[in-house]
Structure 1
């Protein structure tokens, strides 16, 4: 089994960067409200009020609108996620795990699972679930605001596809399915905790998901080879 590092829970306010406190509070409020109620449901005025802003047009002033706020959320979160992924990939390479599929999957899943809000919940994962389930979202569209921030992980996906000798387009679809499963697992864990139900540790949840994902990707590659050409 791939050795898992200690997780490093990270809030919006702990990520290094030049964003002002006002912008971070709006980003935090937008992430939580849109992750809970849907991308289009909370009004921009509701988000501003949740962030403690007296100006009901604060989101428009700082981000231009809803889509600009979404992009700001992705930019801030992905800064931390991509840096952590580079760290984990370098660790895997130095440990001789450069061709280990599970190590590369872990490098994708661990940083995402570390993104929490001030209450310790996975509001970013819930936002991704809302965003990627929008009608018209295309995981392969590179100029999508979310995908445009994921250059490093796309390189990781190309590396995994090569390991599996799999066409990248086929791999991308299969990996997208597994990534959604990881997001759903984080959201489900939050729901159980909210209802004071027993929950697995975050580390165990991530380890289990990685352990299931690597064989699923190998099976997808085997299936693609058998059914190549139709």
Structure 2
């Protein structure tokens, strides 16, 4: 499931060629329309910005719950992905409802909401996120900031964060410190990985780089979801053998 929810940008359920390999492996894709985006006009956008940003994450969580409740996917097979502002969205689901997804993929994401405005591109984001200099906005930022919500002793799902070493839009420190905190806090023993691309900025540009990035992402997702399927099947067999 993919989400964004910001800047009035619409995320359409269109067919994109890079997903072909995922579909060929039996995967499916759901696109979440979240407040903060532009799918239903400017009022929809404003409902998910500044101190109302938590609405975005509530919507994303509700979409995940809907997919599981309706039987489209089991929670042990659900992966969520988001890039840039969408990385903040998946980071919020990860830290607010860590049991919902089996795999979390954050691409050049924002994870430390309190320090976002001090980086090179930070002032551009203030109209969308708010500022730590405003007391009310500071409290809202701190309440949902994924980095600050990581709790020791929590069984977090498998996570892959990717970043570009030359990213001037979202500084690599977001992904670095987020994955370090997850590694220090999680009790699940599932993979918590960082993939840093030295030549990338805010995502790959050359075709070969795009291909390499997708290979990393799909390898991670397929391995994690297949592992979950194997463990589920093993647990089912053990339950059957234990029956009188």
TM-score range, shorter chain: 0.3 to 0.5
More strand per residue: 1 or 2? 2
TM-score (norm 1): 0.35
More helix per residue: 1 or 2? 1
